[in-house]
A and B are shown apart, each in its own frame.
Chain A
Amino acid sequence: MVDITWNDLEVSSRSVVMQAAKQFAETLGDTPQFREFEQSYFGFRQDVEAQNAIREFQQKQASLKALLMLNAVSEEDRQELQRLQDRFYQQPSALRYTKAQEELVAISQEIGDLLSKAIGLDYGATCKTGGCCG
């Protein structure tokens, strides 16, 4: 390890950093974007029609997985998959949730950039664990 003695006044202790993290999370959790994200998520989860629409789309997609990877889906199946996807995206609760997620991601990316600049490491990439898609 680097053998160095820091001036205690200049060092942020672990508890101070964790307190700043807590304060940050509370502030982000209080933003209109986060509140809308949470509310739209619960709305989406409770919307039976939207849940059926996404389930049907995902089931169809899973059943065609191998063919999709080989780009060998029949025109009929492709149209059916598109129809199910369109039906899902037309659900008002799904639209609201997708829009809320986009807006939360937009401000989170800006904040992530600010944090990365401050610490000299890519915040999002550095916090990624478990392989390339973890």
Chain B
Amino acid sequence: MAEKKGVAVTEKKYEKYFLPYTEGRTIVGGPVIANLNDTIMSGSNFYFIHWVLPSDDPPMPVGHPPHIHKEPELLIHIGTNPDDPGDLGAEVEMFMGPEMERHVITRSTVIYIPPGMIHAPWRPLKTTRPWIMLQINQGPQHTEKFYPQLLPKELRDQVDWSRWQDHGFD
């Protein structure tokens, strides 16, 4: 019987479709759980899942700056209290549209973003219980184009723009 880090198999034909946790990276202060796209698994859309750990303060001063994607995006905020699955254990700020409409969520919440619709900054304001963030782009690769001009100058100047580069838009 072959072994693959936590997966016991009797044959190996389909083993390539099993991706056990092998991460160790952190983002926004929490461990990455899974990262998938068409390069990693042919035929897969883009999925990125990570923990967000307790913090009294926002882990990002401005947050993910305003941007668009070519494909629909879903941002799934999942609280980890099974006795109250709606309790996110956190407060998250999200801006929608070129008008920068502000929303603050404290419940487990799905945000659907149509292709080409400006959204963000996104940032956790406070976290009292670890929760799980699932980022989905319904296309084979992540695409992103930023709109720095939508941020007020005092915020724009706080962003390290080398971290936020357009990709997938030629």
The judgment on whether A and B are partners is no
